[in-house]
A and B are shown apart, each in its own frame.
Chain A
């Protein structure tokens, strides 16, 4: 009985081992996790805005490929996409980042996130009241000017909370780049934990990594929730419109 408990403890909570791996995990892993998340999100935002604009296009030839992009990347297991892009591009001779796995990792996750962010942006842009678009057009602003000066600023503000929520998912998603094989200095939190766990035949480093993830994601989640609540209380009607758009997307 006591032996069993001890084994459980050593498997998950070997404090010596945790103390040993924690410095690298924070210094190298945490930094890389956050950097990857930021790079991937930056790619995701750019891809997301472009695809969202495409999804809202009146031209089928533009709308269709954008819709396919979103459906494809949201429909595939993330691990598969990360492999295909992260491993596949260099293998296929498409090497914009040379031999740096890091770049391909950020690109793979960024393209993936772009598909999710496209839907967030689309819902945000669609939540902009038709009347505002009509007002802009009636003043003589062109379609593109209306998007740029009226739809994007208004819709963009409304998507900030869900976008931050998506950023939390990206932070967790960076763990997938472990698969691509990173050099020692490029490893993010999960990779460092996993390597240490294999080496010492104990899962304790993974528990430590988990706690670090939680230390970032849980406060951010609560912050986003509070932010959304404040927006909702402030601007009931607009958020209701957006909720409807998001609900429509979820069911449709």
Chain B
């Protein structure tokens, strides 16, 4: 299902992301508290934690789908949180994959991918279509170009969404519980694409409940609880020798 046909077209260049004392409140509720975190370029960072811990919010601060209340977010040396920065240009450098796929329903798989290529990357129709085909093939969906989201399974939709983000040749990929809405038998295909991508040196921030994926693909794992960064470690230490009681409790609950 996940044949990688043209690795060349998917060669990726990662960039680092820095969270510098990032806080975020919704009204009086503080969902992120003073997060300092370095996401190294070319590596995969998994963010785990109980629901409501602020994982998604942290991820969404990366491309300012959420506006941090305080602190800075940097993409390489670009300050994402700079209010005068062209946020559209920054967002185009960051790919995002959502829990519910969020494909545009009345567009075919191909059109879903070419829209931003033409409008944002200013490719000609032919260039956009060619690049879209390449990326659809790379997620194992050659031949599905003209299907609409409604005619695709959840797993296929999510793979189109991944192709849509990758076609923009982003410097960083964000995955917000990308497999949580999928039937169990469809999770594998999506995870294996993500694993391949990690292997190619894409910078990835992955919010996930898939502990096995975190263990195998991440270079660092971050544990959030109640909006605070509780622990950060490489997979071996994270699962083998967790320090904080809260992480220990979390790990014993999910395993």
Which A residues fall within an 8 A CB radius of B?
A: 129, 131-132, 134-142, 145, 149-150, 153-154, 157, 235, 238
Closest partner residue, chain B, to A139 (CB atom): B116
A182 to B22, CA, bound (A): 68
B31 CB-CB contact with A under 8 Å? no
> Contact between A137 and B91 (Cβ–Cβ < 8 Å)?
yes
B positions within 8 Å CB-CB of A:
63, 65, 88-89, 91-96, 98, 100, 102-106, 115-116, 119-120, 150, 161, 164-165, 168
Nearest-Cβ distance from residue A208 to partner chain B, whole angstroms: 44
CB neighbours (8 Å) of A139 from chain B are: 91-92, 115-116, 120, 164-165, 168
List of A residues within 8 angstroms of B106 by Cβ: 153-154, 157
The 8 A-B pairs with the shortest beta carbon distances in the complex, nearest first, are A140-B92, A139-B116, A135-B102, A131-B102, A138-B96, A140-B120, A140-B91, A140-B88
Residues of B within 8 A of A141 (CB): 88, 115-116, 119-120
In the bound assembly, the distance between CA atoms of A155 and B96 in angstroms comes to 23
Q: How far is the CA of A129 from the CA of B100 in the complex (A)?
A: 11
When distances are taken between beta carbons in the complex, the residues of chain A under 8 Å from B65 are: 134, 137-138
Nearest A residue (CB) for B94: A138
- Chain A residues within an 8 Å CB radius of B161: 135
Residues of chain A within 8 A of B119, CB atoms compared: 141, 145, 149
Q: Which residue of chain A has the shortest Cβ distance to B168 in the bound complex? A: A139
Determine the chain B residues whose CB is within 8 A of the CB of A136 once the complex forms. 104, 115-116
Q: How far is the CB of A161 from chain B (nearest CB, A)?
A: 16
CB pair A150–B104 under 8 Å, yes or no, is yes
Give bound CA distance, A87 to B89, whole Å: 52
Check if A132 sits within 8 Å of B104, measured CB to CB. Answer: yes
Tell me, rounded to whole Å, the shortest Cβ–Cβ distance linking A80 to chain B: 40
Give the Cβ gap from B100 to chain A, nearest Cβ, in Å: 5
Known contacts A131-B98, A134-B98, A135-B96; decide if A140 and B116 are in contact (CB<8 Å).
yes
The residues of B that contact A132 with a CB separation of less than 8 Å are 102-105
Bound-complex Cα distance A247 to B104 (A): 25
Residues of A within 8 Å of B96, CB to CB, are 134-135, 138
Could you tell me if A138 and B63 are in contact, using CB atoms closer than 8 angstroms?
A: yes
> Which B residues are CB-close (under 8 A) to A134?
65, 96, 98, 102
15 more contacts with CB within 8 A, not counting A140-B89, A141-B119, are A131-B98, A132-B103, A135-B98, A135-B161, A136-B115, A136-B116, A138-B65, A138-B95, A139-B164, A140-B88, A140-B120, A141-B115, A141-B116, A149-B119, A154-B105
Q: Which of A132, A137, A138, A154 has the most B CB atoms < 10 Å from its CB?
A: A138
CA distance A69 to B222 in the complex (A): 52
A138 touching B104, Cβ below 8 Å: no
Task: Assess the B88–A142 pair: CB atoms within 8 A.
Answer: yes
